[in-house]
Amino acid sequence: MTLNRPEVHNAFDDTLIGSLTKALRDLGRDPAVRVVALASKGKNFSAGADLNWMRRMAGNTFEENVADAMKLAEMLETLHRLPKPTVAVVQGPAYGGGVGLIAACDIAIAAKDAARFALTEVRLGLIPATISPYVIAAIGQRQATRYFLTAETFDAADAVRLGLVHIAVPAEALAATAQTVLTSLAACAPGAQAACKELVSAVAGRPVNTAVIRDTAERIAKARASDEARERIGAFLEKRL
């Protein structure tokens, strides 16, 4: 998927949010799709919310604003919960909601010298509300508090250190690095990948108690009995994989 609004720095409005949500749902249901890469045209990955859209919505009622914000929240949740691996390929600056898109993906790769990141909402009297679950999960509560409050800009190296980005490479190596990651993902079992995403969501942040231990045991028992695992294990032992 490629964001293609370079004239507005790939900012998103209600129309783009609707298009993204539909496209993601279609990709999630398509068995031929193994991996989803999210990229952008132009110099910027995404400037987040389109400010003309924000200004227009400011004149609406509270209930209308909640309904509108819920559409953005649903798009981010659809991206985060997609039953396919997702990879953000960040070629340039990402601000506000653009950072949220990256955090909602499973893996993020960024151009070392070109990518910049900032959570700029407070400069405009706004807050990074709908993106906060994903950004906080990516960089942690303490760091999120800092960057939510200061709106500081940080580079790709800092994004790696914080946990927002997994890999930072020179711009000329971005496409090849992304392709290597996508190829690795496509070589794995799709059912197991979907189950892994569910596993992380189920276990993250929970204490290791009897319920968690039982849940993880049931999950591996289910995976062992799957047709996918039987075929893949057989193929490996027979040197077909």
DSSP state of 26: H
Active site residue 121: yes
Q: What is the DSSP string of 43-105?
A: S-SB--B-HHHHHHHHTS-HHHHHHHHHHHHHHHHHHHT-SS-EEEEE-S-EETHHHHHHHHS
Cα 136 to Cα 240: distance, rounded to the nearest angstrom: 42
DSSP string, 147-190: HHHH--EEEHHHHHHHTS-SEEE-GGGHHHHHHHHHHHHHTS-H
Q: Name beta bridge partners: 108.
A: 88
Place of tokens 């045209």: 41
135-151 burial code (b ≥16 CB/10 A, e <16):
bbbbbeeebbeebbeeb
Active-site annotation holder among 121, 172, 198, 238: 121
Residue whose pair of structure tokens reads 């370079």 in the numeric block: 6
Q: For residue 187, which phi and psi values (nearest 5 degrees)?
A: -80, -10
Q: Which one-letter DSSP state was computed for residue 33?
A: -
Catalytically annotated residues: 121
